[in-house]
Structure 1
Amino acid sequence: MTDSCCGSGAEGRGAGPVVTGARRAVLHRRVRWLVAATITYNVVEAVVAVSAGTIASSTALVAFGLDSVAEVLSAVAVAWQFSGADPEHRERAALRAIAVSFFLLAAYVTGDALWSLFGGGEAEHSTAGIVLAAVSLAVMPVLSGAQRRAGRELGSASAVADSKQTLLCTYLSGVLLVGLLVNTLFGWYWADPAAALVIAAVAVKEGREAWRGEHCC
């Protein structure tokens, strides 16, 4: 447990409420279920996005699918942490894994966006991509909010960091949806990769915070 996180690690310092053993067990189970739901959804999302992106020659859709892979890696790190008898002991390693997933995501999205902006070709219309982005835009905030609340009450920086990874996927869903719609309606192919560069910058920021254990409650 990092010192920057509240919860049981901050007891006696007035940083947060005491979490009883029974409540802690409930929160551990909740985090595990939320992580399992996140992994399941993102595996499906990755398969659909990469498949649809390949068919439509859409670099944005393929990038979105690979973001789902990064989200799975982040969720797996938290699942590994909470599968042990002492999750707090594994927290720093889980945070580092989450940070790496942020950095890998940022690197790929940046490269993909630049490639799309400077001669990567124009994507075709993708109904499947639009539907997927809209569904993810509705689902991801719910998963992120639930895990963030559980992580903050539990005092787990890694659970909060993973919830921010899921929230980042929400932003990417919005970027993807706008990009696909704008490309379909107006032919403005540059809108999606330009917005993706902003998302990449946010990913770097979140990765740095996770690496330093700054995802406080």
Structure 2
Amino acid sequence: MLNMPTAEHLRLVQLGNKFEYWTMLWNLLSCAVLSFAITLHPSTVIQAMSVVAFIHLFASVVVLSQITGIDRNREHFALKAISLGYGAATLYLLARAIIGLLAGKHFDDNYVGILWLGMTYFVMWALSWNKRRVGHALQNQVLIHVSDMNRTDAFVALAAVSGLLLCAFCDFYWADPLSALIVVGYCCEEGIAAWKASIEHARIGELEYQQSKREQDEQRTKL
């Protein structure tokens, strides 16, 4: 971090780590709780949210490896891995949602999923705000990108809850797979955004490498 006292830098790194550990814990719990909810009452949108939670669990591991320092090459591969994960999830969940719509199956009310995803909405908002603040202070693009993901997670969780509530109280069977399509759109958008960010980081890393090489050549010339 440029012109930042070492103590302050370490404090921010520790703070960023803390928020990512909380995110990992929540995503791990989400995988468990939503998997349990699916065994009670199958649901396309809850399955979609459990897949997203798994991808975010991986993303948290990636971010933790990045917070301690800015390595353009590592950030490039981290963002690309996240992008590929979203791409695979998009194809899988799209197929599941279309099958759910065509089948016209009415899923049983899933109050465990409703409660957990409702809590997820508020948790993701809090994590997003704190990660963005620390990410800008550290100038860490991966942390900033994940904060954007968490903010969008809040809206996606709200959409999922809305679909489940419509199924439970209005008997709209199509609301479950339709809200799953919203999750599919989110995965597609995030995958494209992460891929573009990985390309940009690769370009910046190459420019920094060329600049460093020129400076070294100039120093050798002076000697």
State the TM-score, normalizing by the size of structure 2.
0.79
Identity %: 24
Asked whether the equivalents of residues 43 and 176 of structure 2 are also in contact (C-alpha less than 8 Å), the reply is no
- Seen in structure 2, the aligned counterparts of structure 1 residues 103 and 148 have a Cα distance that, compared at 3 Å, is farther
Deviates more, 1:135-144 or 1:201-210: 201-210
One-letter code aligned to 1:106: T
Q: CA contact under 8 A between 1:158 and 1:210: conserved in structure 2? A: no
Structure-1 separation of matches of 2:141 and 2:195: 11
Cα–Cα, structure 1 residues 52 and 198, in superposed 2: closer, same or farther, change >3 Å? closer
- Name the counterpart of 1:73: 58
Distance 2:51 2:89 in 1: 8
The one-letter code sitting in structure 2 at the alignment partner of 1:88 is D
Q: Is the 8 A contact 2:45 2:179 kept in 1?
A: no
1:14 aligned residue:
none
SS of match in other structure, 2:156: helix
User: Which of residues 97, 100, 107 is equivalent to 2:91?
Assistant: 107
Segments of 4+ in structure 1 off by > 6 A? Answer: none
Compute the TM-score of the two structures, normalised by the length of structure 1: 0.81
The answer (yes or no) to whether the contact 1:109–1:200 under 8 Å persists in 2 is yes
Cα distance in 2 for partners of 1:115, 1:20 equals 56
The residue aligned with 1:144 is: 128
State the SS of the aligned residue for 1:176: helix
- Check if 1:91 corresponds to 2:75: yes
User: 1:189-204, aligned counterparts within 5 Å?
Assistant: 189-204=173-188
The structure whose Rg is larger is 2
Question: 1:147: how far off?
Answer: 0.8
Secondary structure of 1:26's match?
helix
The residue type equivalent to 1:73 in the other structure is: F
Choose which of 57, 61, 73 in structure 1 pairs with 2:46. Answer: 61
Task: For 2:197 and 2:5, locate their aligned partners in 1 and report how far apart those are by CA, in whole Å.
Answer: 24
Higher share in helix = 2
Residue aligned with 1:189, SS: coil
Check the 8 A contact 1:53/1:60 in 2, yes or no. Answer: no
What are the within-5 Å matches in structure 2 for residues 1-217 of structure 1? 8=1, 19-82=4-67, 86-89=69-72, 90-119=74-103, 121-213=105-197
Alpha carbons 1:99, 1:208 under 8 Å: kept: yes
Q: Could you report, residue by residue, the CA deviation over 1:18-60 in whole angstroms, capped at 9, with x for unpaired residues?
A: 5444332222111111111101111111111111112102122
The 8 Å contact of residues 43 and 69 in structure 1, kept in 2 or not, is answered as yes
| Structure 1 pair 88–70 and aligned structure 2 pair: CA distance change class (3 A) | same
Root mean square deviation of aligned Cα: 2.3
Shift in Å at residue 120 of structure 1?
6.2
**Contiguous gaps of at least 5 residues in structure 1:** 1-7, 12-17
Structure 1 residues 82-136: Cα deviation after superposition (integer angstroms, max 9, x where no partner): 35xx443422222222222332332333222212111162210112111111111
Between 205-214 and 151-160, the greater mean CA deviation after superposition: 205-214
> For the Cα contact (< 8 Å) 2:132–2:147, is it kept in 1?
yes
CA distance in 2, matches of 1:19, 1:107: 44
